[in-house]
Structure 1
Amino acid sequence: MAGRLLFPPTCIGCRRIVAEPGALCAHCWPALRFIEVPFCPVMGTPFQYDMGEGFLSLEAIAFPPHFDRARAAVLYDGAARQLVRGLKYGDRTDLAPLMAGWMLRAGSELLREADMLVPVPLHWRRFLSRRFNQSAELGRAIARRSDVVFAPEVLVRRKKTKQQVGLRRKAREDNVRSAFAVPEKFKARIRGKRMLVVDDVYTTGATVGAAARALKRAGASHVDVLTFARVVPESADLDGDFLPDEGMHI
């Protein structure tokens, strides 16, 4: 009791005082926008209204991904942005279990079908400077609460890439091209397996796409993607980083 008085629990988003540890305050909770159906069955991009079964976003049609399906728990804005930044740059690894809980809900279908869970790896030099991999923290927390094998060792980042922040779609793809690889000793282990790649934020899909491509080249039969947050701007065009929520039946 004395500890609670001296060090009251604070909101995990903004540090306002809250009733219970590990909670969001009344200001941050409404700002967290969960991605619910309807959404694109391939990209996981939310639609404003139900387009009907089999309807794909324009992004899925114009830029077919190397992965099979992508899902995310929340939109990358407001409280979600603060959580991601806290985990990634503020050493708030205590946020990972809460964020992973929401990812479990969003990716329940993918997790039921997955054989292995693989976090997007950091280059060893970046890992040494940051001291932890935020994607691995999320992946480890998800694995603890599911039956999926956590296998961070089967995918490595073999070249140090530039930061993706500020790069457009084509530049992001060029930046991470051939960045990932499956070590030879693990190829037999993933051959024919269904892999689930975990990351913190899906922006253009360049990073997770490069990871999926490496896994499939090494023999994985199926690669899905699960992230905590998804960047979905209000509007964009075919030459930009993102696309509007429009599409067609196939």
Structure 2
Amino acid sequence: MNGPGSTSQESSILARAGHGLRAAFRFTLDVALPPLCPSCREPLGDGAGLCAACWSKLSLIEPPYCARLGIPFVYDPGPGLLSMEAIANPPAYQRARAAVRYDEVAKTLVHGFKYSDRLDLAPMMGRWMARAGRELLSGADGLVPVPLHWRRLWGRRFNQSAALAGVISDIAGVPVLHGALRRLRATRQQVGLSQAQRAENVQGAFRIDAQGKAAVAGRRLVLVDVLVFARVVAAAKSTI
């Protein structure tokens, strides 16, 4: 016959055994499948993120840049100066920031994240986005991930923008407003389109319903999109 404490003691032993088995399994996986650089697929050893060679090729966007669009300047023209693009075609939002230039390394990361189920890239990319958009995030009331059409969501398995918004939320302490923005129709890929074609492509594709309006009215919002690797991280005062 078992004593009164036998059940809890056995559960504790089983829990410790299960933890030990999981640890052994993770160790076996690490030995059999060492972490690889997400860009070139070379082993990282004990590291994480990108290998040294790919990191050296990545171009983080740093000041000086256009105060409105975040487009890098060749030289520092002084604080608050706008680029010719921002002056000629003022955007509907107040500010936009990008984490990196769209080079070969960034392109590989974006394609892996969007089309190859590389959800494991979200923490790294989200950290870069939070760093690039820190001045926007400091005064933000909410993060709005760009929604996918249900057919595209089915194909990609998860909303990459929402995954990035979750990482940024954890870092910046800004809540994610899921469902605030709804997609009404599927659109063409924006890559390769001109600015005018991009605007026409998404015309009427999104809507904020009554419930969404209540969540965003009068608030400072940061729109999070994976388009061209963190290219759109834009803050705007809601006018709804």
TM-score interval, smaller chain: 0.7 to 0.9
* C-alpha deviation, 1:21, in angstroms: 5.1
Instruction: Give 1:191 deviation, angstroms.
Output: 1.1
Amino acid at match of 1:80: A
Higher relative contact order (CA 8 A, sep 6+): 1
2:167 & 2:60 partners in 1: Cα distance?
A: 19
Q: Which residue is 1:149 aligned to?
A: 175
Identity %: 48
SS in 2 for 1:55: coil
C-alpha displacement of 1:149 = 0.7
2:62 corresponds in structure 1 to 36
Deviations 1:195-240 (A, max 9, x none): 000011359x8x888x97xx845x2xxxxxxxxxxxxxxxxxxxxx
Deviation at 1:50, TM superposition (A): 0.2
Deviation, structure 1 residue 183: 1.2
Alignment of 1:78-117 (within 5 A): 78-117=104-143
Please state if 1:55 is matched with 2:56: no
Alignment partner of 2:131: what SS?
helix
Higher strand share: 1
Gaps (5+ residues) in structure 2?
1-26
Once the two structures are superposed, residues 136-156 of structure 1 have per-residue CA deviations (whole angstroms, 9 ceiling, x without a partner) of 111111112221011121001
One-letter code of the match for 1:94? D
Tell me the CA shift for residue 171 of structure 1: 1.7
Letter in 1 for 2:161: S
Q: TM-score, normalised by structure 2?
A: 0.82
Give the TM-score of the pair, scaled to structure 1.
0.79
Q: 1:196 to 1:102 in 2, by over 3 A?
A: same
Report the alpha carbon displacement of residue 167 of structure 1 after superposing the two structures with TM: 2.3
Contact 2:110 2:228 in 1 (8 A): no
Identify the residue that residue 147 of structure 2 maps to in structure 1: 121
Distance 1:7 1:14, change over 3 A: same
- Which letter maps to 2:94? D
Task: Answer with 79-88 or 122-131: which moved more.
Answer: 122-131
Following the alignment from structure 1 to structure 2, what is the Cα–Cα distance between the partners of residues 189 and 129? 29
Aligned length: 213
**Larger radius of gyration, structure 1 or 2?**
2
Q: 2:31 matched to 1:5?
A: yes
Q: Name the residue aligned to 1:185.
A: 211
Structure with higher helix content: 2
For structure 1, the residue ranges without an aligned partner over 5 or more in a row are 220-250
Per the alignment, do residues 60 and 129 of structure 1 end up closer, same or farther by CA in structure 2, a change over 3 Å counting?
same
Secondary structure at the counterpart of residue 126 of structure 2: helix
Computed over aligned residues only, the root mean square deviation of the Cα atoms, in angstroms, reads 2.2
Amino acid across the alignment from 1:161:
T
